[in-house]
Amino acid sequence: MAILTLATQPFAGQRPGTSGLRKKVSVFRQPHYLENFVQSIFDSLEGSAGQTLVLGGDGRFHNRHAIQIIVRMAAAHGFGKVLVGRGGLLSTPALSCAIRKHGAFGGIVLSASHNPGGPDGDFGIKYNIGNGGPAPEKITEAIYARTATLAQYRISDAADLDLDRIGHTTLDGMQVEIIDPVTDYAELMRDLFDFESIRALFARGFTMRFDGMHAVSGPYAKVILEDMLGAPAGTVTNGEPLEDFGGHHPDPNPVNAAELIAYMASAQAPDFGAASDGDADRNMIVGRRFDVTPSDSLAILAVHATRVPGYRAGIAGIARSMPTSTAADRVAAALGVPCYETPTGWKFFGNLLDAGMATLCGEESYGSGSLHIREKDGVWAVLFWLNVLAVTGKSVETLVREHWARFGRNYYSRHDYEAVDSAAADALMANLRGKLASLPGQTLHGYTVALADDFAYTDPVDGSVSRNQGIRLVFSDGSRVVFRLSGTGTEGATLRVYLERYEADPARHDMPTQHALSGLIAVADQVAGIAARTDRHRPTVTT
């Protein structure tokens, strides 16, 4: 076996977005494309010689091939050991858990998360640091800078590994261990939650459906829900990871998980429904004939945290991404703890969690998590809800309605305009930026603009500043409209418009969401000129 040094040339555009580098599979299949990016990651690390790297992915098309390449490059780079999930599988939260548990230097997760898979779908790669979380911008920018100058990469010429057999082997002097992808993670969940109470809940006949969307969460959900907690076999549906996710879009929202939503609205609906995304870091929570918004979910978990063993001592603070509704802010105020507002993307929560400033974090995009790891965590959120349902004996709907009665309701919706012409989307954002100074004081469709800005964030721990994180209009009644361009899409641009309206009066908590937000929807179009500039007259996806 030998270490080869191969000449290469830079590829344009290898800049990590909101969550790693995501491109079409066809882009990743170009010779040297993956290798260049991996070498750029390795070249940006200091002190990795002899250390441990954790490696796994969501099982999508190209996953196994990429794993073989990265293991051989890790050996060439001088890592001491690589831990690989069996079959090349590790959910994003399980990878974060494994980095922390095994004291690894870092990890690489192969996923394009909620983006579709298969030969014509998307692929992605992301580097996580030693705290288990996504690399901060300082590192992702260094990686990107390196991709622009790379002239060679190093790789072992060793034969392919057997990824399917648990155990130890060596590759060009580097240890390789194939680990069960579920074990460490399941143990962590058992330590955080009241498994006795949840087991008793299922024993009393409580019913649920977990839709794995043929992504990587299935094996985790089956072991934990069906084997450890005694949920009936068949509770987990679409539980086998498939390379193309069965042709579906593994994005757990009411549009892409329509089958689960329909089932939860039917006469056979179980007590509880949930779904997760490609890499199992997102969650959707559904009650019987009752959907829960991710922003409400975060707020409700925070209120009930002390009912859960892992959070019995209370929470130090909450962090939410800027577009996420302010429901959690009201809970933080009631608990007397701070609520931090960060840019979109989990990498911004890492410092707050490491510093002990926040305990729970969440995003409106069906993501929530806590200091137990440094990624958002889909199965964790489901277990948190099950724990609260078990110890309160209440239904999902009752818990949410009680929450609204106490704190008020934050009507919330996100409108996505996908695959919009990039130039038109950039022009729309530039035009909005140009208008910011003139908006405060204006009244539009009955809403008076109190603040209009381009969100910038100063990390309170390391002082780093992230600018241009979304245009924010805040109105005098606390309602908000936020505009951002997606940093995870692979086709044209995706414009996201986030809409939020606060309603304190319980007599007005039963309006259809889009109706409650109709005034703000009109404001958004008037200010941004969405229809005129993109020629789109309705969103591609409304969640």
- Contact positions vs ligand VG1 (CB under 6 A): 18-19, 113-114, 277, 281-282, 321, 344-346, 363, 365, 367, 486-488, 496
In 57-84, which positions are buried (b, 16+ CB within 10 angstroms) versus exposed (e)? bbbbbbbbbbbbebbbbbbbbebbbbbb
- Residues lying near Co ion in the complex (CB under 5 A): 113, 277, 279, 281-282
> CB of 363 within 8 A of CB of 293?
no
Question: Tokens 């209370």 — which residue?
Answer: 314
113 carries an active-site annotation: yes
Angstrom distance (rounded) from CA 506 to CA 157: 67
Angstrom distance (rounded) from CA 359 to CA 374: 11
Nearest residue to 409 (alpha-carbon basis) of 475, 339, 507, 316: 507
What's the min distance (Å) between Cβ of 134 and ligand VG1?
A: 9
Partner in contact with 365, chosen from Co ion, ligand VG1, none, beta carbon below 5 to 8 Å by kind: ligand VG1
**284-287, strands of its sheet edge to edge:** 236-237, 208-211, 272-275, 284-287, 290-291
Partner in contact with 487, chosen from ligand VG1, Co ion, none, beta carbon below 5 to 8 Å by kind: ligand VG1
What's the min distance (Å) between Cβ of 363 and Co ion?
A: 11
Residue nearest to ligand VG1 (CB): 113
Angstrom distance (rounded) from CA 156 to CA 3: 4
- 3-state secondary structure at position 153: strand
| Beta strand pairing call for 208-211 and 272-275 | parallel
Nearest residue to 127 (alpha-carbon basis) of 32, 35, 38, 28: 38
Q: Which is nearer to ligand VG1, 19 or 297 (CB)?
A: 19
What's the min distance (Å) between Cβ of 21 and ligand VG1?
A: 12
Q: Which is nearer to Co ion, 122 or 226 (CB)?
A: 122
- 3-state secondary structure at position 523: helix
Catalytic residue among 113, 217, 297, 325: 113
Partner in contact with 214, chosen from ligand VG1, Co ion, none, beta carbon below 5 to 8 Å by kind: none
Q: Which is nearer to Co ion, 279 or 377 (CB)?
A: 279
Partner in contact with 346, chosen from ligand VG1, Co ion, none, beta carbon below 5 to 8 Å by kind: ligand VG1
Angstrom distance (rounded) from CA 232 to CA 242: 23
What's the min distance (Å) between Cβ of 56 and ligand VG1?
A: 14
Partner in contact with 253, chosen from Co ion, ligand VG1, none, beta carbon below 5 to 8 Å by kind: none
Nearest residue to 491 (alpha-carbon basis) of 431, 421, 538, 428: 421
What's the min distance (Å) between Cβ of 283 and ligand VG1?
A: 10
Q: Which is nearer to ligand VG1, 20 or 310 (CB)?
A: 20
What's the min distance (Å) between Cβ of 41 and ligand VG1?
A: 17
Q: Which helix (H) or strand (E) holds 147?
A: helix 137-147
Q: For residue 72, what are its two tokens?
A: 């051989």
Q: What is the CA radius of gyration of the chain?
A: 23
What's the min distance (Å) between Cβ of 5 and ligand VG1?
A: 33
Q: Which is nearer to ligand VG1, 113 or 297 (CB)?
A: 113
Partner in contact with 19, chosen from Co ion, ligand VG1, none, beta carbon below 5 to 8 Å by kind: ligand VG1
Q: Which is nearer to ligand VG1, 171 or 473 (CB)?
A: 473
Backbone angles phi, psi at 364, to 5 degrees: -65, -15
Cα–Cα–Cα angle for 166, 167, 170, rounded to 5 degrees: 130
Q: For residue 205, what are its two tokens?
A: 């006949």
Q: Which is nearer to ligand VG1, 239 or 323 (CB)?
A: 323
For the residues of 277-335, what is the DSSP string, one character each? -TTS-B-EEEETTEE--HHHHHHHHHHHGGGSGGGTT--S-EEEETTS-THHHHHHHHH
Partner in contact with 488, chosen from Co ion, ligand VG1, none, beta carbon below 5 to 8 Å by kind: ligand VG1
Q: Which is nearer to ligand VG1, 112 or 389 (CB)?
A: 112
What's the min distance (Å) between Cβ of 122 and ligand VG1?
A: 10
Nearest residue to 482 (alpha-carbon basis) of 326, 310, 339: 326
Q: Which is nearer to ligand VG1, 109 or 444 (CB)?
A: 109
Partner in contact with 325, chosen from ligand VG1, Co ion, none, beta carbon below 5 to 8 Å by kind: none
Partner in contact with 496, chosen from ligand VG1, Co ion, none, beta carbon below 5 to 8 Å by kind: ligand VG1
Q: Which helix (H) or strand (E) holds 472?
A: strand 471-475
What's the min distance (Å) between Cβ of 249 and ligand VG1?
A: 11
Please state at what angle helix 183-192 crosses helix 92-101, rounded to 10 degrees.
90
List active site positions.
Answer: 113
